[in-house]
Structure 1
Amino acid sequence: MTAVTNANAAGHGTIRLVPNCNYDFTTAAETGTRGGDALPIITGNITIVGGPSTHIRRTGGGPFRLIEVAAGARLDVVGIFIEGGDAGVFPGGAILSARGTIVLKSVTVRNSTADNGAGIASDSGSLILILTLVEKNTTRHPNGFGGGGAGIYNDGRLETDQSRITRNTANTSGGGIYNEQGGTARLVQTTLDENTARFEGGGLLNGPGGRALLVRTLVKRNTASDGGGIFDRPGPGTVTLVGSLVTANNPNNCRPVGSIPGCS
């Protein structure tokens, strides 16, 4: 997309997409060390505005994600459906941040696949979701391993506000969110529901070194082999609930027993 290339060259810019328009991609515009991307990698401070009903979609061709943000860069996206990405054996099916900053407002990220972070992967970056939906994303890997964080993988800074992570499926752990390795996740007025993990943490998997704070957040009807709602792996890291409800998850709500105060 020429507009992205020009904004990168200028170091900043706002790109306004056409309402009720589909921006469909069948080939990658750029290929980096973590697979191909539909758009040129974001290297500046760029805002992309769409809506109503503006879509950025992968509609065929080989595996490639839709958007990647480089270290030190920032991308704000407003009012766009981002869907159908496929990063193959790499992270970030729809969106990948490699130590960059991403802010999504009134955005839907859906129907994407990757090894981990099928919807969004934040690799030591900052990810902020406002009024945003992350749904129906699926992790997979040819050898059957990997595959964590179907909705979101985070080992940086994650903040959500009035958002929903739903109906994502992980072939290992963390159906909705996988937070680890020093990652901080602050979920405010957010719903994690109907996500599925093959192993642990249907709604949320908090790995060693991860810290998760859930404020007025609902974790409901998620499924995993253990910790259907939330699984907090042993090691440095904590999960804290403030005015939040973890309920009706399968086969249980929180594990290990007693690891998350206020959740049974």
Structure 2
Amino acid sequence: MKYVLRSGALTVAVGAGLSLTVLPTGSASAADGIQVRCDDIPGLVAAINQANTNGGRITLAPRCIYTLTTPDNPDDGLPEITGDVTISGKDSTIRRDPDATEDFRIFHVVSGGTLTLKSLTVSGGSIGNMGGGALNDRGTLNLNNTVVKDNLAVTGGGLYNNGGQLNLDRSTVEHNSATGFGGGVVNDAGGTMTMKRGALLKNRAALNNGGGLENILGTATLESVSVRGNTAVSGGGIRNVNGSTLNLKSTTLKENIAVSGGGLSNLASPATLVDSLVTRNTAITSGGGIDNQSNGQVTLTNTKVIDNEPDNCSPEGSVPGCTNPTAAIDPPPTRDLLPDDDIKDPQ
């Protein structure tokens, strides 16, 4: 059975040759799901409210852009996620109107809520606090084959995970900006972030730290992820601070830029890199590849930190297995470097 949400009413196809019956919004079941017509924002809002109550799957029109012109509540473009809500599309986009006069993020998951996004793009959010694309406040946010791009916030330009569970699979966080820290993602307050495949790409923390990812008092695990082309004051690619735990596996930190810690800035925290590559990152002062400060512990296992400017690791000797070339020693020939193809880079 198929439900099609049309701005507060559901049209139900009950079988071949039978008439259509109009049912109230609350009549759809979680098992059947709800279809929302292209750019039907009242229908999308009603579908989310219904799914919050009953749980359910919402399906958007393929390759359609849903444009939010005004917020649903003071900070959010759509209703807060309080239940178990899944929104699926096929190259569909939910965005804040570039000409909107009010600032608002796109999604907000509150404590106890679960939001799963599949094959969507979330873009254009703008907020004067946390999470331009989405704020996950002690709930669960799952992104599958989803792009979060061109969002702006003070902290967590793309995503802010505040003490919740953030899971990204084959997803990309790109071209987001923060005026404070965490251009792409902030993982904070005991939050857990797991990212498999995908990329943190060309995000920017304009005046602070953590261009791609700022990990604060949380645990972040990235596997087969490209962290590339991000910029910040400290930790162009990733900044790991305040006792946070960072685990990188089969991950590339490449072409990130910062004043210090071009690829990774690690401060008083454990960071483990396995089967990974840190290369072609740039720092204005030191720690082109890795800047490891205040008794931070960086463990490299089958990982290369090479060809970073002006050095690979700082302070000298602070990262076991990481060496800085000297003027008397030529850099290793290209054939000795780990090829990019050895580590999957979705770019």
The two structures have a TM-score, normalised by structure 1, of: 0.91
Distance 1:65 1:15, change over 3 A: same
Distance 1:113 1:54 in 2: 20
Could you give the per-residue CA deviations for residues 162-196 of structure 1, whole angstroms, max 9, x where no partner exists? 11001001020000000012x00000000000000
> Structure 2: which 5+ residue stretches go unaligned?
1-44, 293-313, 324-347
Matching of residue 195 in structure 1 with residue 230 in structure 2? yes
**Same amino acid, percent of matched pairs:** 38
Deviations 1:24-82 (CA, angstroms, capped at 9, x unpaired): 01110022xxxx1111000001110001x211000122110000001111111000010
The alignment partner of 1:132 has SS state of strand
Q: Distance in 1 between matches of 2:263 and 2:166?
A: 22
Within the candidate set 42, 45, 61, 2:84 is matched to: 45
CA–CA separation in structure 1 for the residues paired with 2:172 and 2:84: 23
Alignment counterpart, residue 175 of structure 1, candidates 208, 211, 223: 211
Indicate whether 1:254 and 2:290 are aligned: yes
Query: Match of 2:48, as an amino acid?
Result: V
> What secondary structure sits across from 2:126 in the alignment?
coil
Residue 17 of structure 1 is matched in structure 2 by 60
Offset at residue 20 of structure 1 (A): 1.5
In structure 2, distance between residues paired with 1:260 and 1:3:
51
Identify which of structures 1 and 2 has the higher relative contact order when contacts are C-alpha pairs closer than 8 Å and 6+ apart. Answer: 1
1:105 and 1:253 map into 2 onto residues whose CA distance is: 30
Over the aligned positions, Cα root-mean-square deviation in angstroms equals 1.1
How far 1:220 sits from its partner (Å)? 0.3
Whether the 8 Å CA contact 1:103–1:127 is kept in 2: the answer is yes
Equivalent residues in 2 for 1:67-106, closer than 5 Å: 67-88=107-128, 90-106=129-145
1:84 maps to amino acid: G
Distance 2:76 2:171 in 1: 22
Moved over 4 A (4+): 258-264
Query: Partners in 1 of 2:259 and 2:321 — Cα distance?
Result: 21
Residue 259 of structure 1: CA displacement?
4.5
Separation in structure 2 between the aligned mates of residue 9 and residue 205 of structure 1, nearest angstrom: 38
Alignment of 1:1-264 (within 5 A): 1-10=45-54, 12-31=55-74, 36-51=75-90, 53-59=91-97, 60-88=100-128, 90-140=129-179, 147-155=180-188, 156-171=191-206, 172-181=208-217, 183-197=218-232, 199-233=233-267, 235=268, 237-251=269-283, 252-256=288-292, 257=314, 258-263=317-322
* Local SS of the residue matching 2:265: strand
CA contact 1:105–1:130 (8 Å) conserved in 2: yes
Partners of 1:4 and 1:40 within 8 A in 2:
yes
* Residues 77 and 104, structure 1, Cα contact 8 Å, conserved in 2: yes
Instruction: Give yes or no for contact 1:241–1:262 (8 Å, CA) kept in 2.
Output: no
**3-state DSSP of counterpart to 1:9:** helix
- For 1:79, what is the secondary structure of its paired residue? strand
- Which structure has the larger Rg? 2
Distance 1:261 1:178 in 2: 23
- Counterpart of 2:221 in 1: which secondary structure? strand
The 2-side partners of 1:102 and 1:262 are apart by 36
Verify the 8 A CA contact 1:78 1:106 in the aligned structure 2.
yes
| Cα contact 1:168–1:194 (8 A) shared by 2 | yes
Relative to its length, the structure with more strand (as a share) is: 2
Q: Deviations over 1:135-177 (max 9, x none)?
A: 000111xxxxxx1111000021000001100100102000000
